Structure 1
């Protein structure tokens, strides 16, 4: 007779393992946060608009400076393909690979340890017709509208 306890234990361990999409999301927003911290000019610009370094740290605010390709392996590698596939599937990158938050200051919304939504505000007013504020909600996870901190701080900053 087969030992079903072994199979149930393995199944429960699988259910308890972290979702890879969550891991890739955290990596993405950590890259954005580190890119902002590495850019003193942008930090100073935000400080002039009422967003302090303390707020940047406390709310894990980041900057999408279009350098993601330097930090994520190409799709030819398993980890790169997994990450790029997850970001595409979650709607954070477009078919052409461009990030939806290109050129934005970005604030993720965490519920527990999971990122469920994010808001991006263009750092520079777009020269062509494009939204200045981009909100992303993880499909099926978070459905109510959110007032992000970056939308409240420095109202002149987010004015259209």
Structure 2
């Protein structure tokens, strides 16, 4: 048995997979599943012209501050990698809080690579905070992205 062949294949696989892409996809999958599980938020979006089939098609999610239930803590290797990736790409603040807290979130993928995301708060924040948050992945972002969620809920996003 030639073990060098297996090691070469393994090393080639490691260089072809970007761990950040895996973590970012997991994050937006969590947001998407959280929205689908939240019937109240789905009803609010439906009243604003965004039915469940659009939620599924566009992988829209909600950042409901429950990420800690789904991601290991930073003292575990996988949790540290996940949280470190989110901080490096700017999806969490230095305090560890998610930038999309309280937002309905629309990710934009190019193939399997997340390139941008837009968060819209459906409830006007009590503290001074932006109502719309746009995030662009620095290493991938090339041109402005047209977010569907902003067009669908135009007047709600700017109230």
**Structure 2 portions without partners, runs of 5+:** none
TM-score, normalising length from structure 1?
A: 0.91
Matched residue, 1:46: 45
Asked whether the 8 Å contact 1:118–1:136 carries over to 2, the reply is yes
The CA deviation string for residues 86-131 of structure 1, in whole angstroms up to 9 with x for no partner, is 0000100011100000000000000011111000001211112111
**Structure 1 portions without partners, runs of 5+:** none
Matched residue, 2:23: 24
Asked whether the 8 Å contact 1:26–1:115 carries over to 2, the reply is yes
1:54-133 residue pairs with structure 2 within 5 A?
54-133=53-132
Matched residue, 1:13: 13
Measured on the aligned residues, the alpha-carbon RMSD in Å equals 1.7
Give the deviation of 1:31 after TM superposition: 0.5
Asked whether the 8 Å contact 2:122–2:157 carries over to 1, the reply is no
Following TM superposition, the consecutive aligned residue runs of length 4 or more in structure 1 with deviations greater than 6 angstroms are 4-8
Distance 2:102 2:87 in 1: 18
Tell me the number of residue pairs that the alignment of Structure 1 and Structure 2 aligns: 156
